[in-house]
Amino acid sequence: MRIFVAFLAATLLTALAGTVAQTQFVLAALMAVGAPVGLADRLSMTGADLLGFTPLYAGLIAAGFLVAFTVAGLLRRRVAVPRGLLFAVAGAVCIGVMLYLMREVFFGIPLIAGTRTTAGVLAQIACGALGGAVFAGLSAPRR
Amino acid sequence: MKGSRPMRLIAAPLLGLALWLAALLPLHAFEIEEVAGGFDHPWSLAFLPEGGFLVTERAGNLRRVSASGAVSPPLAGVPPVFAQGQGGLFEIALAPDFADSGTLFLSYAYGDADANGTALMRARLEGDRLDGAETIFRASPKSGAHHFGGRMAFLDDGTLLLTLGDGFAYRENAQTLGDHLGTIVRLAPDGTAPPDNPFADTPGARPEIWSFGHRNVQAVLVDPASGRVWINEHGPRGGDELDIVRPGGNHGWPLVSDGVDYAGARISPWGLERSAELGLVMPVHVWTPSIAPAGMTLYDGAAFPEWRGSLFVAALAGRAVHRLTLDDVRVTGEERLFTELGARIRDVRTGPDGFLYLLTDDSDGRLLRVRPAR
């Protein structure tokens, strides 16, 4: 049960943080061509993306984390790496691979517009690492 | 009328109903017949003055079709094309003086996966081959294999409009004038930029650009009566548009759209209602959910008098042809036709005989004729 709650929290955190990040990258690209984006615009679009994009993203992340954290859990016994670091790396790699596969499967089309730049991809990977770290912390066995 | 009062009360409305039905029945009495088949994703159709057709196949072939439907082998002299994704051979357009000069234009995708774009070739049709072929324009390159535009129309002054696309991953470039992404270009018949183009004197702007802020323009036509230029273009998920284009216009992509990204994220903070405030051109008509519009024709034939003045819009994902009735620049009605085909429709044209001609987008594509029922 503790693991389930930790998994849910990690997935939601990565999905929410990832959404907010991708929206800011999209806004930055619009502003670079002169779009007059104000604070109200930024807030409304971020909110719209949290409603319109996060559910799908969370579903994808959940599927990815299921695989990644299971693998990390199995590796835990063999590798002398701090628990938090191991799951953070698992989360990061999971998101990186997921974004790569999405582009390959969809004929080279970047489905998530906020990941068209290297910085955008790194931001998502960082959110994956954060999710992994949170999972590690919340699912740690109590002493 | 003779007869008892109750009979008259029944008979009169019945007679009226019968007359109304009689007037209604022939309204859309048409039949669809196959002219030719077996095309590999046919993209565009041209009518030869002596009868017969020219058909492009996206994979890179140009074929002649006789009036009786005999399909020729591929014509020699067609350029090699980048046939991946949405790329390939696109539009065939006969020059206004084709009957004398034999000059025609082909739009196609040039390049490779890393650097490609839309190009325009001019050539002469000599029997079963193209002679004197030369590429007269290349849009600025991009990577990926999507959003090439590719449709053409001639203005009264002999210049040519060629529609382009934003290359999908470069949507913000539709707002910049330093490259051709997301624009419609106007070219002289030799491929150069006419000096009276709207951005001919703008520093840093490509002089060929005629309008911008487009995503992927899949039809362009000029109304000969009014001179108006009509286009349609694909939105992302939702937000397909019908627009009237004027020189220098900014059609708003990606600043405003009625659609969202395929994964559900917003394109921008704003919807179409902010167009005027942001100095952008509002569409005349929007399709959400998307129909994926393709070729388009303004019907002016004699075969279907009730269809004169209507716009017919081919739909790929929509698997139909949408007939739009117009009142000047307003759409007053819309109906979906030819849904019984169950086919993605790539092109719809008005033939010199006043019949409608369709191309289906399929690996076993067909050229179809729509004629009044006999």
- B101-143 tens-digit pLDDT: 999 999 999 999 999 999 999 999 998 999 999 999 999 999 9
Confidence at residue B303, expressed as pLDDT on a 0 to 100 scale: 96
B254 touches chain A (CB under 8 A): yes
What is the model's pTM?
A: 0.91
- Check CB contact under 8 Å for A52 and B264: yes
- Check CB contact under 8 Å for B269 and A52: no
In the 8-state DSSP scheme, what is residue B311? E
In Å, how far is A22's CA from the nearest CA of chain B?
9
Chain B partners of A56 at a C-beta cutoff of 8 Å? 263-264
Whether residue B225 has pLDDT greater than 50:
yes
- Check CB contact under 8 Å for A30 and B268: yes
3-class secondary structure, B218: strand
Chain A partners of B265 at a C-beta cutoff of 8 Å? 19, 22-23, 26, 49, 52-53, 112-114
- A101-140 tens-digit pLDDT: 998 888 778 889 999 999 999 999 999 999 999 999 998 8
Confidence at residue B2, expressed as pLDDT on a 0 to 100 scale: 52
Whether residue B327 has pLDDT greater than 80:
yes
Q: Which of residues 51-110 of B touch A (CB under 8 A)?
A: 85
- Check CB contact under 8 Å for B175 and A34: yes
Q: SS3 letters for B74-90?
A: CCECCCCCCCCCCCCEE
- Check CB contact under 8 Å for B169 and A42: no
The secondary structure of B99-141 as a DSSP string is HHH-EEEEEEEEE-SSSEEEEEEEEEEETTEEEEEEEEEEPPP
Whether residue B262 has pLDDT greater than 50:
yes
Least confident of B26-30, B188-192, B349-353, B362-366: B26-30
Sign of the C-alpha dihedral computed for residues B202, B206, B207 and B209 taken in this order: negative
Q: Which structure tokens are listed for A85?
A: 């670091």
B370, B320 Cβ separation under 8 angstroms: no
Confidence at residue A1, expressed as pLDDT on a 0 to 100 scale: 84
Find tokens 């139909």 and name the residue.
B320
In Å, how far is A113's CA from the nearest CA of chain B?
8
The secondary structure of B15-57 as a DSSP string is HHHHHHHHHHGGGG-EEEEEEEEEESSEEEEEE-TTS-EEEEE
3-class secondary structure, A3: helix
Distance between CA atoms of B309 and B328, rounded to whole angstroms? 10
Confidence at residue A76, expressed as pLDDT on a 0 to 100 scale: 87
- Check CB contact under 8 Å for A41 and B270: yes
Find tokens 């001609």 and name the residue.
B357
In Å, how far is B36's CA from the nearest CA of chain A?
31
Mean pLDDT of B224-237: 96
Mean pLDDT of A40-53: 97
Confidence at residue B21, expressed as pLDDT on a 0 to 100 scale: 65
In Å, how far is A48's CA from the nearest CA of chain B?
7
B241 closest CA partner among B166, B292, B279: B292
Helices (H), chain A: 2-32, 39-52, 54-76, 83-105, 118-138
- B331-348 tens-digit pLDDT: 999 999 999 999 999 999
Chain A partners of B113 at a C-beta cutoff of 8 Å? 108
Chain A partners of B260 at a C-beta cutoff of 8 Å? 52
> Which amino acid, residue B230?
W
Give the confidence band of B26 by pLDDT, cuts at 50, 70, 90: very low
| Category of B85 on φ-ψ map: left (φ > 0), alpha (ψ -120 to 50) or beta | left
Q: Which of B28, B146, B147, B180 is catalytic?
A: B147
Give the confidence band of B298 by pLDDT, cuts at 50, 70, 90: very high
- β-sheet bridge partners, residue A82: none
- Check CB contact under 8 Å for A53 and B263: yes
B147 carries an active-site annotation? yes
* Optimal mutation site among A16, A31, A45, A103, interface B, most CBs of chain B within 10 A: A45
Chain A partners of B85 at a C-beta cutoff of 8 Å? 107-108
Pick the residue from chain B with its C-alpha nearest to A49: B265
B131 touches chain A (CB under 8 A): no
